[in-house]
Structure 1
Amino acid sequence: MVEIDTALVKNLIAAQFPDWATLPVRPVATSGWCNRTFHLGDTMSVRLPSAERYVAQVEKEHRFLPELGLGLPLPIPVPLGLGKPGQGYPWPWSVYAWIEGERSSLRTITDLTVFAEDLADFLLALWAIDASDGPPAGQHSFHRGGSLAVYDAETRRSITALSGEIDVPLITEIWERALASTWKNRPVWVHGDVAEGNLLVRNGRLAAVIDFGSSATGDPACDLVIAWTLFDEPAARAFRDRVGLDPQTWERARGWGLWKALITVAGAPGTNPLVKEQHRGWLDRIVADHLPIAGVP
């Protein structure tokens, strides 16, 4: 693991972007797992991949985000500088314009249903952008936008590991229904990680969408998981109605949510118990949403 701290960022900026060398550098309040992020002055941020498997995302964002931003109703990150390896740091890195906003949560959102509709409108605009030159789903997007079958073995191992805690036949049925269909329309741009930490709120409303590292072109099902991870039933229904996708796409979306919840709950010893409990809640909501479809009242 590469140590990424304030001193490293200051040295990188001084060596490669001397015009910004006098600006203060400080860590953001909450940094992501895939990248470490720092404030650069008051109007910029520095973002550095935390491991080699996230490096491909840097060039992708620099190439495509300026184009995507032109067709979207809300701000997304704007790349200002592409850094090179140096000062002991082995990978490319980025400078972005800073976007003000709070992390979305039940505390910061004023009206969850309005928020769900605003997010649906953003995604509809994203999916409408010409994706013909975009990167097909693959390792760079951790297969977001691609086939769930990539995670079949991992998911089934997690189901087996949790056999004493979950309804194995029911969970397996949900998973297999998710695997049974594919996206048959043209590939669309997907964000790939539509989660609370990547949705910014100002004055209680959705204000910006950040972190397109898992973006790709393909199946939009992966962008729907937030229906179970954040929304209550009225907001989820509004979100579902607004995006207007077919039932099979929603089954694949359940599969994406199920995979993430299962591998987290079945995670290695030492996994944060609060995180496990959160993902158990997601699992319960996914199951509850599936039961009426399966004919269970």
Structure 2
Amino acid sequence: MVLHENEVAVDDTVVRTLLREQRPEWADLPLSAAGAGKENVMYRLGDELVVRLPRTVDTARSVQKEQEWLPRLAPLLAYSVPEPVYAGTPTSTFPLVWSVYRWIDGELVGAGSVRDWARLGADLAGFVRELHSIDLMGSTRTGDLSWYRGGYLPELEWVSSCFDECRTTLGSQLDVETLEQLWRAALALPEPCGHTCGSTVTSDPANC
């Protein structure tokens, strides 16, 4: 499914070509589509690896940040996070940076795989809380580190403008009405503890 007007096309042939050019020892391993999100497309490579390719020039900006920070965060988290194995470089076939990670076994979240949605929500919230509690290791929440991710929801005004674009681009492929309702409901929720306002992190319970 194409999600962006400026999306870089990718398929099995593109991935095979990248591997032959940069990691020929992996080029003949079994390859299969392994899912896609708004910003990346993934292919499982053999039994132990996954190739992750950004969809656009803008989303490719986060690749270097992932490769740098995932190894730092991994020892501090209770759950497994992707382990970078290779940092791919742009080519004439695929003009963006890309990555290879260790494969993490699991199941897609859905009605057939989740027996207790409340427990899943609590586990996810616990992981996010754990992630937010990690020291910034001398870095700051400005510039390319924070990019557009995270922050106080009402400050993310650009999100509201995306729903009409999704209706035009995706049509009936995505339930945009439900997504917009969830977003509006999230905006109406009370301010959380530890939220980020500009460059200041508020964690005082008296301010919650």
Same fold (TM over 0.5): yes
1:96-115 correspondence to structure 2 within 5 Å: 96-115=101-120
Report the equivalent of 2:96.
91
Whether the 8 Å CA contact 2:42–2:51 is kept in 1: the answer is yes
Q: TM-score scaled to structure 1, two decimals?
A: 0.54
Whether the 8 Å CA contact 2:71–2:84 is kept in 1: the answer is yes
Q: TM-score scaled to structure 2, two decimals?
A: 0.74
Shift of the 76–7 alpha-carbon distance from structure 1 to 2, 3 Å rule, reads same
Q: Which runs of 5+ in 1 are unaligned?
A: 155-258, 291-297
Equivalent of residue 2 in structure 1, options 5, 8, 15: 8
Q: Which runs of 5+ in 2 are unaligned?
A: 1-6, 191-208
Report the equivalent of 1:24.
30
Whether the 8 Å CA contact 1:137–1:146 is kept in 2: the answer is no
Within 2, Cα distance between the matches of 1:137 and 1:146? 11
Equivalent of residue 11 in structure 1, options 6, 17, 29: 17
Shift of the 127–283 alpha-carbon distance from structure 1 to 2, 3 Å rule, reads closer
Shift of the 136–289 alpha-carbon distance from structure 1 to 2, 3 Å rule, reads closer
Is residue 71 of structure 1 aligned with residue 76 of structure 2?
A: yes
Whether the 8 Å CA contact 1:44–1:97 is kept in 2: the answer is yes
Whether the 8 Å CA contact 1:265–1:277 is kept in 2: the answer is no
Choose between structure 1 and 2: higher helix proportion. 1
Whether the 8 Å CA contact 1:34–1:50 is kept in 2: the answer is yes
Report the equivalent of 1:276.
176
Offset from partner CA, 1:218-259 (integer Å, 9 cap, x none):
xxxxxxxxxxxxxxxxxxxxxxxxxxxxxxxxxxxxxxxxx4
Whether the 8 Å CA contact 2:77–2:130 is kept in 1: the answer is yes
Shift of the 8–140 alpha-carbon distance from structure 1 to 2, 3 Å rule, reads farther
1:1-297 correspondence to structure 2 within 5 Å: 1-28=7-34, 30-134=35-139, 136=141, 143-146=148-151, 151-152=156-157, 154=158, 259=159, 263-264=162-163, 267-273=166-172, 274-283=174-183, 285-286=185-186
* Aligned AA (1:264): F
Alignment RMSD: 2.8
The DSSP-based 3-state class of the residue aligned with 2:138 is coil
The DSSP-based 3-state class of the residue aligned with 2:73 is helix
Offset from partner CA, 1:2-26 (integer Å, 9 cap, x none):
2211111111111111221221222
The DSSP-based 3-state class of the residue aligned with 1:45 is strand
The DSSP-based 3-state class of the residue aligned with 1:103 is coil
Q: After TM superposition, give the deviation of residue 108 of structure 1 in Å.
A: 2.2
Greater relative contact order (CA < 8 Å, ≥ 6 in sequence): 1
Shift of the 288–87 alpha-carbon distance from structure 1 to 2, 3 Å rule, reads closer
Shift of the 15–108 alpha-carbon distance from structure 1 to 2, 3 Å rule, reads same
Higher mean displacement: 14-23 or 280-289: 280-289
